[in-house]
Amino acid sequence: MKKQIRVSVLALFLTVLAIFKFGTIDAGDPKFSEFDLHAYIAMSEAVPGIVAECSSPFAYRLMGPWLVGLFTDGGLKGFYSFAIIFGALLSFAFYRYLRISGLSSESSLLALAMFLFNSNFFGFVIWNSYQLGDLLSFFFLAILFWQMEKGKSGLLLGGVLFMGILARESVVLFAPTYFVFCLEKGHSLKKALLAQFWFLPAAILFVGIRMGIPTGAGESLLEAIMQHGVKLGSLETWYRLFINAFVPVSFFPLIFFRSVRSYFWEHPHRIIFALLVCLSTLFGSDNERLMAPVFIVYYGFIGYAADAHGLLKNKKLLWLLVLAVVLGSHHHIIARFPMGSRNLTIVLSLVSLLLASLWVYIVLKSEVRAQHLEEE
């Protein structure tokens, strides 16, 4: 019990520290004039009405602006208040998912910390609290995966997915993921298909919002993929999607390649969800943010690898990982106290990648040495 309380207190501390570290955006700064935050501000001010000139897909992400418009006076204070609340709830839900999926409390805390101090994932939606819909979608995904692992009914999952659709469209990726999860658990194809029935109201809502809400300029899904799909021809895109998005643990799936098989391949719903998130990045240009929904399984893998390889046994070397996380979380814009330039952010990211990989190498080497000594 004491250990559980200690871990819970530490998780709360890390959440508060991350929220404080990333601070909040200055919406009046001219360099953010092109950000879509202005659409969400207009939507919150129009509640309970609809802003017809909002472009798609922003106009469809109703829940965040409506919460702010209905329950606060609006503006940055309203958005930031809800960002703090749901940031804390997301931290709790994600930790519970990690624990119920079989991770130890220490590895769950490690995975949570990696997520909380990722400036492109948690950091961005706290700093730019106008993107409340993104944060809400993370929260609903964490709830859905947590309750799915608990074996809760399709009725509950359908209700959560319905609310998630009101936050952001990425939550819809859970439906096919749950279908694969049902097959994975030994359900027949017919039963797995019938389970999708619970998501029918969410599907109707998804289509209804897009048919019923008038929008201004914007792209259809087909237009978006035609415009942004060509980005895959750029090496920078691949770097941003698969390395920069996960600093400082971007190389862990390569280092722990064998664990990838047991974590993903033996649990197909995880890899299906990860692949769906990767495909969804073709609909936009902000690559790191578009990868954000994958946090639920990616950082779950980090915790799994930590347990499987005993990475947290050597407490003396944890300072090296802490340093890697601190350096990797630096951002020249997304911060309470922004410092340096984009080049400094890139350099520190690369240093943090090396430090995290060095930490793994030293820990694993020390474990091998200890095993040899025991055998002798």
Q: Cα–Cα–Cα angle for 96, 99, 64, nearest 5°? A: 25
Residue 8 CA to residue 11 CA, distance in Å, equals 5
Query: Nearest CA to 119 among 342, 370, 368, 367?
Result: 342
pLDDT of amino acid 368: 61
Question: Region 189-210: what's the mean pLDDT?
Answer: 95
Q: Do 264 and 298 meet the contact criterion of CB atoms below 8 Å apart?
A: no
pLDDT of amino acid 87: 98
Q: Do 296 and 177 meet the contact criterion of CB atoms below 8 Å apart?
A: no
Q: Do 284 and 58 meet the contact criterion of CB atoms below 8 Å apart?
A: no
pLDDT of amino acid 31: 79
pLDDT tens digits, residue range 111-167? 999 999 999 999 999 999 999 999 999 999 999 999 999 999 899 999 999 999 999
Tokens of residue 359, six digits: 């930490």
Q: Do 317 and 360 meet the contact criterion of CB atoms below 8 Å apart?
A: no
Residue 131 CA to residue 176 CA, distance in Å, equals 25
Quote the crossing angle between the two packed helices 37-46 and 75-100, to the nearest 10°. 110
Residue 41 CA to residue 76 CA, distance in Å, equals 9
Mean pLDDT check: name the lowest of 52-61, 71-80, 184-193, 239-248. Answer: 52-61
Which residue spans within the chain are E strands per DSSP?
none
The mean of the pLDDT values for the chain is 91
Q: Do 94 and 115 meet the contact criterion of CB atoms below 8 Å apart?
A: yes
Residue 196 CA to residue 53 CA, distance in Å, equals 34
Q: Do 62 and 209 meet the contact criterion of CB atoms below 8 Å apart?
A: yes
DSSP H helical segments within the chain, as ranges?
A: 2-22, 37-46, 63-71, 75-100, 105-116, 124-127, 132-149, 154-167, 174-184, 189-195, 200-212, 221-228, 235-242, 252-255, 257-260, 268-280, 287-290, 295-308, 318-328, 342-375
pLDDT of amino acid 182: 96
Q: Do 213 and 320 meet the contact criterion of CB atoms below 8 Å apart?
A: no
Residue % of the chain over a pLDDT of 90? 68
pLDDT of amino acid 3: 77
Residue 146 CA to residue 247 CA, distance in Å, equals 25
pLDDT tens digits, residue range 19-66? 999 999 987 777 777 777 888 998 999 888 888 778 888 889 999 999
Residues 6+ apart with CB under 8 A from 169: 57, 60, 61, 206
Q: What is the 3-state secondary structure (H, E, C) of 40-92?
A: HHHHHHHCCCCCCCCCECHHHCCHHHHHHHHHCCCHHHHHHHHHHHHHHHHHH
- Mapped onto helix, strand or coil, the DSSP state of residue 102 is coil
User: What is the span of the domain harbouring residue 247?
Assistant: 2-375
CA dihedral (358, 362, 367, 371) positive or negative: positive
pLDDT tens digits, residue range 268-292? 999 999 999 999 999 888 899 999 9
Q: Cα–Cα–Cα angle for 54, 58, 63, nearest 5°? A: 110
Residues 6+ apart with CB under 8 A from 281: 241, 287, 290, 291
Number of domains forming the structure of the chain? 1
pLDDT tens digits, residue range 210-264? 888 877 666 666 777 777 778 888 999 999 999 999 999 999 999 998 899 899 9
Residue 21 CA to residue 337 CA, distance in Å, equals 8
Q: Do 36 and 54 meet the contact criterion of CB atoms below 8 Å apart?
A: no
Q: What is this structure's pTM?
A: 0.94
